[in-house]
Structure 1
Amino acid sequence: MHAPDPDYRKVVEHGFREAAFLSELGISLVDCGPGWCESSLRIAPRHLQHTGVIHAGVQATIADHTAGGAAMTVTPADQFILTSEFKIHLLRVGKGDALLCRAQVLKPGRAFHVVEAEVFAVADGRKTMISKLSATMAVLARSAA
């Protein structure tokens, strides 16, 4: 995939670093490239629901923001991304020491990008996919912000 902004990595890094909610949760950027983005989270008790499994809201947050990061890698410098809609499939109970997320742009466009993200729980060195997000990301002019 083509990255129209040669500084896309700095833009994605800034988006992860400056998002207060991500910082509060502990989500961090792992890496990114044209059309993809990866992030991680070390699981703590605050990430669990009352039954002891990883909260769906935590899964949705890491998947949504990582999908946005992937979308930014194929977005021109004078534009930015906002999530227009997403659907998340919670595939199995989330248990583990960490979450890894990888998002991939399926189709970039001038007005919208279609992106998918997969969330994996890591336990005892094994990765298990626990959720999958499909999203539409709106491409907006920075002057609209």
Structure 2
Amino acid sequence: MNEIDSDAVGERIRRSFARQGAMHTLGAELTSVSQGVVEIEMPFDEKLTQQHGILHAGVISAALDTACTYSAYTMIEPDVSLLTIEFKVNLMSPGKGERFLFRGEITKPGSTIIVADGRGYALNDGPAKLIASMTSTMMVVRGRKEISG
């Protein structure tokens, strides 16, 4: 794989994230981009809970999927894109927190398939509490105008 300009990659990811209607709806923000690792944070919002008042599993999954996918974007050339083709989520603790942190980190880079692991944390006054983990597989997409950047 060619060497990747980290400043250009970070800017590309920030522009792409800004176009994500789903993340905007969740109130999520991109807080950290580095080679192979991306972090997304969001505040607690009652509109994103399930019937017991905790963060909905679908919201957790969406944020983890996004963090994992953007971590993979740090590993690919600028003229290709990615699509998630599979993920598994383990919900480990109720999503109760003032804020949430979702970190995606590359497990196995590749030119066709990339695997990332994600971790979701509830943030309160004390130490961060692990609430979920994800293993995600992305497919590198080349030459499709409707799926770019």
Q: Percent identity?
A: 27
Contact 1:63 1:117 in 2 (8 A): yes
Partner of 1:32: 33
Within-5 A mapping of 1:67-106:
67-106=68-107
- Residue 88 of structure 2 aligns to a residue in which SS? strand
Partner of 1:41: 42
Uncovered stretches (5+) of structure 1, i.e. residues with no partner: none
Amino acid at match of 1:14: R
- State TM-score, norm by structure 2: 0.91
Partner of 1:4: 4
Contact 1:88 1:132 in 2 (8 A): yes
Q: How far is 1:11 from its partner? A: 1.4
Q: CA RMSD in A?
A: 1.4
Contact 1:71 1:113 in 2 (8 A): yes
Contact 1:3 1:73 in 2 (8 A): no
Q: How far is 1:141 from its partner? A: 1.1
Q: CA–CA distance in 1 between the matches of 2:115 and 2:74? A: 13
Change (3 A) 1:5 1:97: same
Change (3 A) 1:3 1:48: farther
1 or 2, which has the higher strand percentage? 1
- State TM-score, norm by structure 1: 0.94
Uncovered stretches (5+) of structure 2, i.e. residues with no partner: none
Give a deviation string over 1:108-128, Cα, whole Å, max 9, x none: 101010000100001224310
Alignment length, in residue pairs? Answer: 144
- Residue 143 of structure 1 aligns to a residue in which SS? coil
Q: How far is 1:3 from its partner? A: 5.5
- Residue 128 of structure 2 aligns to a residue in which SS? strand
Partner of 2:16: 15
Q: CA–CA distance in 2 between the matches of 1:3 and 1:100? A: 29
Runs of 4+ deviating beyond 3 Å: none
